[in-house]
Structures are given as structure tokens and as C-alpha cells.
Chains A and B, each alone.
Chain A
Amino acid sequence: MSNRQLATVFQRCKAENRAALVGYLTAGDPDPVTSRKLMLALAAQCDVIEIGMPFSDPMADGPVIQAASERALAAGTHIQDVFEITRAVREAQPDIGIVLMGYANIPYTMGFDIFSERAKAAGADGVLIVDIPPEEGQICDDALATHGLDRILLLSPTSTDDRIRLACKHGTGFIYYVSLTGITGANMGDMGDIRLKTEHIQTMTDMPVCVGFGIKTPAQVAAVADFADGVVVGSHFVSHITANGGEQATCKALSTSAAAMKEAIRGAAAA
């Protein structure tokens, strides 16, 4: 069973001659009920939404997303809440791409088969597990493929050509290029280097290549949109949850911020 939704989303963006906007929030942050509304507000502006599965030990995340996980878990978020939020997003936005993102131990504990079945039923199109590199894919690849979920793999500045080939062989949907050697929310590296590496990866695969980590401003979004197939904004969106009190204000801030990012992408396409 193959999934075409992510491919369709990127084709649509390409037809508009622009990059896709990929937004991230942690499900259940600051609590499951509020999170659903925030996620819907962000999803309305994005081409692809990454729904973070909160985890007690987010080893690849910076302080902002660590705090999001801690808030979500402290508010009693369960994996069922993640699926319910996913379902709500899918119902509201039938045409966007939805990727569940997180760490291996949550789906491993549920069992990848059951996890994949529930994720698919909730409306997810793909799954990105930070700590399952292609070499360890035997524990999840079959289950994801059976249930028609894309397996999104990461590449980074330290990835050699051998590793790029490996990720392109085992990954589906899109490639997520981590623009810096560091954790989420860190400062972006040199844009010229990011462009070179992204374009190099693009020559090695037909999959779209999205660039993320450290992208916080519309200007950075525009610069990345100039060469990447998608631009991922995560920590910056999550930071609105701490910066603004109140559900309505946070929804509005997210919406405004995401709209500005989308505008920057369209501007880059027009330039």
C-alpha cells in the first residue's frame, strides 16, 4: 500500500513554483485540549504539518522543544491524544501532509504494527523517528510500508555520500535535511553551505528535500525556499506557546507567524 499524499502536496507546491511550508508543534502542548486548537491554527497555514509525539527524553531537541514535551507530559498527554489531534487536523485539512515525529521508544513500546495502523487510521501520511537511522530500519520499515505510511529519513551536514544514498534508498515521502550539526532551535549555519549540501542531495534523489533546524525568521524562510523543496519551522512556532499567554492570543500569533512564513515562501518564488 503506497501513500501518495505527501508526493501530491509537494507536486502541488512545485506546480506553484514554490517550496512547501512545513510546520511543527508538539502534540499536547501545553495541554491536549488547547493543543488541538493550536495545531489546527498552524495546520491551516501549512502544506505539511509535523505533529510531535512528546517524549520524556528528547535527546535531539533544544530547550524550546524539550520544554514543550515536558509541558505536554505534565498535562497528561497520552499517545491516544496524539492520534486524536492528528484526526482533528486531518478532518479540518484533508489536502495537507501530516507527519508524526518523535523518538523510537514510544512506537516501539506500542509495537510498530499497531502504532502504524493507528497512525494511518488517524490520518497520518508519514512517520519521522529521530533515533531510527536506516541501519536500524528493520524494526519499523515493514510495518510502516504495510500501513501505507512514508518513512521520512534525516540527513545532516555530517552525512557522507554513502549515507545520502542509504537514506534515499530506504526513505520515502521526502528527505529532511538537518541544516546544522546541533539540536533543534540552535542558530542556523552558513546559508551558502546549506544550499550546496541541499542541492547535492537533490542531485541524488527524486524525493523532495526539506530543510529544517534553526529557521526562525521570514527572511531565513525565503532564503531556504530559494533552493529547498520545503522549509521546516519548528522551535520558532513552539516558542509562541510560551511567549504568549492565552489560547486565543497564541492561536492568532501562530496563525500570523505562519502566514508571514508562507508569504516569504511565495515572495521567494516570485523573485
Chain B
Amino acid sequence: MSQSLQNLDFSSMYDLEIKHAPDAGGHFGKFGGRFAAETLMQPLKEIEEAFFEAWADPAFHEERLDLLKNYVGRATPLYHAKHLSAEVGGAQIYLKREDLNHTGAHKVNNTIGQALLARRMGKKKVIAETGAGQHGVATATVAAMFNMECNIYMGREDIRRQAPNVFRMKLLGANVVPVDSGSATLKDAVNEALRVWVATCEDTYYIFGTAAGPHPFPLMVRQFHTVIGQEARAQCLDQTGRLPDVAVACVGGGSNAIGLLHPFYDDSEVRLVAVEAAGHGLGGHEHAASLAAGKPGIIHGSLSYLLEDEEGQISGTHSISAGLDYPGVGPELAAMLEMGRLQLDSATDEQALTAFKRLTRCEGIIPALESSHAVAAGMLIAASMSPDQTVLINLSGRGDKDMGTVFELLGDELGGDQV
């Protein structure tokens, strides 16, 4: 019988030391950096300075951790999925329940931190890009709380796929701006948010949603999300008496992955696995697996792995989940992959959907389609292991927002027209 979570002191779980920092220019090995237009160089430097100053200020963390505890609901539980583990018939599967956060996903860890930073910097307006809408909702939420004007840029295609989140953002008082350029998905929303920020950086803070983009965003977003892995690490030790054998997270831009995996960086006995969206299969072009199928390139302010054609034009991507539908990936994950500290895996649309159904039926937990990719890969990994081993899976978000997509795909199977 493990000790109860209450025995873990909330704030003692968090290590505020910045580990494996990039160089002064924001480079993780050859990746990262600040490949930005001149107009943004000074605003980015100001954010960097404000971030390091805030991070060194106990008052900043006091307010941040208080909000994470009493507003977001942290620490999120670590749940031993006994039924799923038994059905898979291998290692014990533990789910880090980021789906139980206020707003329904891990994204709010970062928006709380950045909104506090924006307030410190005296910015009254915030903008953000969003794909699945989770980052948009998390941004709109903190903007409502901090009374900041909020504009969210979202691809027209994603607006169609994630209608409930669009409505939530509007309810929260945010203005959702449709983006029609390019493929009308996440990458185009980032382009548009960058264009707007160039013109408004004087009074506007850009709450970047993933651990990518120009320095200091990859570092800062990581730091705000490492609460996930730090809690999970302490909870694993508490519940199982040891570290997990494998830690698994899905990767689009990589914010939930770096948040879960980074605190295990120095635990060399823990295998770190990043699961990319294989869409209709890695053999074709309809996927979003930048690390597995891309090559190094420069987009949105940093050097990292990219899906692109032979001349460097950015490719259209495909995934059943809007949140993974992105041609790039955070630079630190690229660096971890190159140095052999990260293992790659992927799940197709079909595998993710199967995992979605299985977790729902088996444990009564409806995962986000993004997180379903991690569940799919995590189950396969667990199946190849023994029952005394553990697999930690980041359940980065809940599936409420995906009801429309899943209904389209599974409605008939469930007698959907009779609902």
C-alpha cells in the first residue's frame, strides 16, 4: 500500500534550479537559437531578462505555485491504471493526470507562468496561437483572470475541427481570429501571431504555446511545464518505491513531452519516449512526425527538425489531432534525440483512436486525441515488459474537445444517429 498523495508536501516537489540550460543565445547543442526578425530581437531579449529575473524571485514562484495549486488544481494525480495494465498484460501503467487540470490540459501550467510574466512586464494585452484550442483556452482563461485583452490566432481548419474550444475562448472574452493563409492550421496561426506581435510588441505579450519558437520560449515553456515531471517523479517514488522504467509523452511542438520527460533527464535508467503523430502512416506524407521523418531546418524562430520538401518549403502535415498537427518540434527534444537521450515512437490516427476507445472503456477516462497517441505507444511498450516494471504515460489532456471529431469517426459504430 503506497502512501497517500497528501503525504507529499506540495511545494517540496518542485526543484527551481534551471537544469540543462541552453547557451546564452538559447542553443541546445546546434538546435534552438533566436532566428527572429530584427523588430522582435529586442522584445525577445526583454522577455528573456524578465523571465530570468522572475525565476530568481521567490515572490514570483509563491504566486505561481499558489495559482497552480488553488486555481489549476495541482498536483495532478498519478493514477495506477490497473485495469488497462491487466488488459495489456505487461508492465504497470501509470497515468499522469494532466487532463484533470483546470481547462482540461497541461497547457495552463505555461499560460499561468507567462501571464504572470506579462503582468510583471506591464503588458496589458496578450496574444497566442492555438491548434487544438487547448492553449487558446488556457490563454483566454488566464487573460480573463488577469483582466487582459486577449486575441487568439487559430487556423480556419482547426476552428472547424475544434468548435467547442472556440466557443469556450469566446465565452472567456477572447477574440478568436481565423487564419486563412497556407494550410490554415497551427503553423499558419503561429505565422499570423508573429506578424501581429511584430506590429504590437510595444504593449502586447505573445504567450507562446509550446516549447519551440525563438529563445527564451523553449526554455521558459519547459520551466513552466516541468511541474508535470517533477510531480510524477515524486509520486512514482511514493507509490512504487522506485522510478518508472519508461516515461512516455506525445509530441507536437513538445510542451507536455519536455514537461514530463525533462525532470528524468539525469535518471539514466529511465527510458524517455516521445510519440509523434504518424497520421495515415510514416510511409507517406500525411503525418506530423518531424523528428522521425524530418530534417533540421529553421522555422518560427528556431533551428530544429522540420517536415519540409527538398528545397526547404514547409510541408503540410496531417494528424487526427489538431494539437499534434505541426511540422516542427521543440529544439531541446531535437537535441535530446541527437545525443541519444530520447527514444522515438509514433502512433497512427487509427492506433490513437483505438487507444482512445480502450482507455475510455477500460478506465472510464476519455483522453484527448493528442494524449491517445501516448497511450497507444505506451500500451505497446508495456505489453513487451514484465508486470513488476512501470510505464509512466502523460495523459496531457482530456477528450471533451474531441467529441465532434470522434463522433464523425465512431458515431455509426455506437448507433450515433439514434443518440
Contacts and interface: CB of A to CB of B under 8 A. Distances in A.
- A and B from one complex: yes
Nearest to B202: A181
Contacts of A156: 37-39
A14 B200 CA distance: 36
B387 interface: no
Given A105-B298, A133-B36, A163 B198 contact: no
Nearest to A167: B38
Interface string B157-194: 00000000000000000000000011000011001001
Contacts of A61: 195
Contacts of A55: 312-313
A105 B312 contact: yes
Contacts of B308: 105, 109
A73 to B, nearest CB: 6
Contacts of B181: 66, 70
B243 interface: no
Given A109-B297, A158-B43, A181 B195 contact: no
B299 interface: yes
B312 A57 contact: no
B197 to A, nearest CB: 10
Contacts of A56: 182, 313-314
Given A133-B35, A183-B195, A183-B198, 12 more contacts: A78-B311, A105-B308, A106-B312, A108-B303, A110-B311, A131-B36, A136-B35, A163-B38, A167-B38, A178-B38, A181-B39, A186-B199
Interface residues of B, number: 37
Interface of A: 55-62, 66, 70, 73, 78-79, 103-110, 130-133, 135-136, 153-160, 163, 167, 178, 180-183, 186
A155 B40 CA distance: 11
B122 interface: no
Which of A107, A135, A178 has the most B CB atoms < 10 Å from its CB?
A: A135
B187 A57 contact: yes
B253 interface: no
B199 A183 contact: yes
Interface string B36-77: 111111110000000000000000000000000000000000
A167 B40 CA distance: 14
Contacts of A109: 297, 308, 310-312
A155 B35 contact: no
B202 to A, nearest CB: 7
A136 B198 contact: no
Nearest to A132: B35
B311 A133 contact: no
Given A57-B299, A60-B195, A108 B39 contact: no
B378 interface: no
A132 B37 CA distance: 7
Given A181-B198, A182-B199, A159 B38 contact: yes
B314 A57 contact: yes
B300 interface: yes
Contact of B301 (A79, A131, A158, A163): A131
A131 B213 CA distance: 12
B314 A105 contact: yes
B25 interface: yes
A212 to B, nearest CB: 12
Contacts of A157: 39
B42 A160 contact: yes
A183 B198 CA distance: 7
Contacts of A66: 181
Nearest to A67: B181
B375 interface: no
B279 to A, nearest CB: 19
B306 interface: yes
A188 to B, nearest CB: 13
A-B pairs, top 9 by smallest CB distance, nearest first, are: A109-B312, A182-B199, A156-B39, A154-B38, A104-B298, A56-B313, A105-B312, A158-B42, A56-B314
Contacts of A160: 42
B152 to A, nearest CB: 18
B229 interface: no
Contacts of A132: 35
A133 B41 contact: yes
Contacts of A62: 195
B198 A182 contact: yes
A123 to B, nearest CB: 20
A59 B38 contact: no
